[in-house]
Amino acid sequence: MPNHNFNRAIFAAVALTLTSSAGLAAELPTRPYLNLDAARLVVTAAQKKATAEGWPCVIAVVDSEGLPLILERMDKASVLAGVELAPGKARTAAMFRKETGVLEDAINGTRPAAITANGYVMMRGGVPIVVDGSIVGAIGVSADTPDHDEQIARAGAAALLK
């Protein structure tokens, strides 16, 4: 013989759970993100700067979590280790949310202990990519000099500001 009171109680509890959980659902914030097409625009702008100046290089673009999207090695890139350095610079800029030149300056100046941050490349040439005030990724460049690395990376990062 079925217990109708028990079944009604279960039904009421399930209905209450379903209606109350809908009311508790929080609206999650949204933020822009770097997709592959946008990453290609960044690389194209960086490569254009590098070509115009005669600074062949390696260019890497990562998302906001430092995960790789693109790695491009231009013909005659002068630093063989650039295929390791450029993505490391991009990842470092994304994870620290700042240009890697700032980190290099800190190591050489007031914060030498920053060198102990294992797995990061604290060398000029990593620049966050900012869209609508949010860091959506970063670009890392390895050319022939730290100054050239920064110039090329900044040119790439600026591509999405237009």
Residue 8: pLDDT band by 50, 70, 90 thresholds? low
Range 3-24 average pLDDT: 56
Q: Residue 143 has what pLDDT?
A: 97
pLDDT digits (tens, 9 = 90+) for 19-63: 555 556 788 888 899 999 999 999 999 999 999 999 999 999 999
With the C-alpha atoms ordered 12, 14, 15, 21, is the resulting torsion angle positive or negative? positive
Angle, to 10 degrees, between the axis of helix 146-158 and the axis of helix 100-108?
150
Give the position of tokens 């625009």: 41
Q: Is the pLDDT of residue 14 over 60?
A: no
Whole-model pTM above 0.75?
yes
Q: Is the pLDDT of residue 4 over 70?
A: no
Q: Which among 148, 130, 120 has a CA at the least distance from the CA of 42?
A: 130
- In angstroms, the first-to-last Cα distance of the chain is 73
As to burial, measured by CB atoms within 10 angstroms (0-12 exposed, 13-18 middle, 19+ buried), residue 92 is buried
Distance CA 141, CA 82 (A): 8
pLDDT digits (tens, 9 = 90+) for 96-149: 999 999 999 999 999 999 889 999 999 999 999 999 999 999 999 999 999 999
Domain ranges of the chain: 36-161
pLDDT digits (tens, 9 = 90+) for 83-108: 999 999 999 999 999 999 999 999 99
Residue 6: pLDDT band by 50, 70, 90 thresholds? low
pLDDT digits (tens, 9 = 90+) for 64-82: 999 999 999 999 998 999 9
Chosen CATH of 36-161 out of 3.40.309.10, 3.10.310.30, 3.30.470.20, 3.30.450.150: 3.30.450.150
